[in-house]
Structure 1
């Protein structure tokens, strides 16, 4: 089985959007290690490579919700702060309400999602509405001018974020969009078109009302691992097309902040023998140790952007016995020490 793939035209579309935002797309492709000529000949691309490209675009544009409609440009780090405000919520209903409150004060966010509950109905609708500072006419104009794919991306991201918060699959009843189907709707990720309804009076998505009572299962430690690849991965990963390698990687990323499972423990989670697990990973060109190192590296890079965490704190969180072991591993992964990497990320003086 091969790694999950993303159609190449999604890459082309992302690059077009990045170019319109003023990005040097050739430099971004080089940083993502994607060959421009080879891309034109490919029908698809590795999902992980596409996710890396998406992240680079977000950093270059300094827009954390690039390609997802929020009405404006959202500063890097905003998503992390929103997530932190949700951890004390007891269920999804509270989290949705609090996220809406955060949107009211977050610079760049001109829209939010609000609950529309109809008592006789078994479904609830999560509706996109303007924040208080955005008038109805301005909101309508923003929706009219917006790329339909960006609106759909925002809905997809919120749906998958709700699934992560609750740790449960949430079946979509429908996805409602205002624009006509004739305008086209090319999102930056795969989506099931059968649930999408056009020419609606409202924008949002519907799901079972019972879902609102789902408790939140995430904590600060799992959040930190999640943030290492959020929010762009919310619209790049198709759970129905995950390869075995990606299933293993997702488990390791989920557990990396707690106690990363040994190969034996991981095989038990997958209901197979260690030998079978190793053989399957080998078929896909990887190994348990390689995936473990990749997950640790991704989370370490995220942690190094958190000024409140010392290198010793990060080493402990990643399960290293000594900070020196973390230093050696990080140097092996990136060619830099943690201190050198942090220094490189500091803003340059004008």
Structure 2
């Protein structure tokens, strides 16, 4: 299967500087920081962003995030940034979010418009019988900034849903990293139902909230601005990053045990070119394949109720022992420990 859609990479300059980057810049400036120090190494000046014409690459945005974290040195920076992110002021895509009639529509818009609304962190939606789960993927090689983006992304979703629904929704947040010393910031901004050391970064909610009507939404205005937001994406020329496209391709072909050469061919490039592009994003093919396998394995365990042998066979592991060893490397947990973790949550 050939991947036909275009994508952006971490050096693609397409993020308007007066959108998400300006949100972080204004937060830092409000705390007395100097704009030149904040933008150092990004190749930009504050005047470029104020002019409304500057376009940042993900690399430049990540440089701004790194500078802000280091200079602010405050535990609440990511959460305050997240509170300001959604719906945001990002043209028609933000207007579409503001007119969403319920959480399902908002999640659909956020997923479809992720290049505009969440260019560094890609939200993925998964449903089981009781819950809706949104898990988060690194779109551009965030590396050290990944935790900052996760904290901000989950805070943005919690804050937006509370504002548009008119109520505090009972979100449950799980993070793969260990509990940090500033855990009170999680409780303040995300609620007390927060778990650390989880197998993946995910935020969950009972399914009954998906279709509960949100007050203030306009059906007519919503349809019009969604058309305009799709036109925004058409003008942009892509709606996802290279890592997003690769993840989707690996998921769709996971039972065929994807290999570097065949995947590179599907992307219309040589294996060496794909390796070089992934290295530019701070990752490699095996890491991306293991990520897709991990997510499929967790889904099969948690949602489908598969046994170890069934999951191993599904993922083309011929040795169940080797699969269990790989699963522990992916998640830090043995399958049996994962089940105990779910039962305790």
Q: TM-score range by the shorter chain?
A: 0.3 to 0.5
Q: Which has the higher contact order (CA 8 A, sep 6+)?
A: 2
TM-score using structure 1 length = 0.42
